[in-house]
Amino acid sequence: MDKDTLLQHLKTKPDLHQLALEAGNDSSLLAALFEVVRSDRSPLRYSCTKTIRFLSEQQPGAVYPYFRDTANWLQDTNSFVKWDGILTLANLAAVDTEHRFDSLYEMYFGLLRDTQMVTAANVAGNAWKIVQARPDWESDITARLLEVPQIVYLHHGKPSPECNRVMCGHILDCFNQYFAQSHSQAAILRFAQSQLNSPRKSVAKAAARFLKRHKNTAENPAD
């Protein structure tokens, strides 16, 4: 399928999960999806990045040859494209046999300090996938996540403590995925303890659940 045919097809609003399955078995369709993202400026771009993200969840190896293209999405001026880039790259970490993520590491995790909370939350919420793929990065990734309470996020251009609280909830969810493998269990437990009194009730409850699950199972915390 070429780009123009794909654009016409996208206008019919196809099921993007089904389109992702088709792209996994059709290299020309996958190439056309990336071509639309590169060259089109209509909302159809978002359908393409979302389709590629769906495919990366099921068949990351099919998307991996386009790692560099996907990395470019992190600098896209459109937030939806950037967010799909963050999620897709996290999925590709599992098949990154050529260590392409290495040169992208600082840019990717630097987005934890993006003033737009949703951008940072997408990084935080998917960091565990990268930890699982690259356990040698766990200590540094954990340290960066633990800095989140000190980061200022904006809402309508103004500092938002509530956005930070939401972020802390995402951090707890992320730590839940790899706590047993962490070399910084004591620091993580202290972070969870600090969230017990969060004004955001869902975060306080998540912290309580986290501590109940992990506090007595931590083995020789490194801190």
140-197 per-position pLDDT tens digit:
999 999 999 999 999 999 999 999 999 999 999 999 999 999 999 999 999 999 999 9
What pLDDT score was predicted for residue 218?
A: 64
Split at pLDDT 50, 70, 90, the class of 216 is confident
64-83 per-position pLDDT tens digit:
999 999 999 999 999 999 99
**Residue 8: pLDDT over 50:** yes
21-77 per-position pLDDT tens digit:
999 999 999 999 999 999 999 999 999 999 999 999 999 999 999 999 999 999 999
3-state secondary structure the chain: CCHHHHHHHHCCCCCHHHHHHHHHCCHHHHHHHHHHHHHCCCCHHHHHHHHHHHHHHHCHHHHHHHHHHHHHHHHCCCHHHHHHHHHHHHHHHHHCCCCHHHHHHHHHHHHHHCCEHHHHHHHHHHHHHHHHHCHHHHHHHHHHHHCHHHCCCEECCEECHHHHHHHHHHHHHHHHHHHHHCCCHHHHHHHHHHCCCCCCHHHHHHHHHHHHHHCCCCCCCCC
Give the domain ranges of the chain: 1-98, 105-223
Model confidence pTM above 0.75: yes
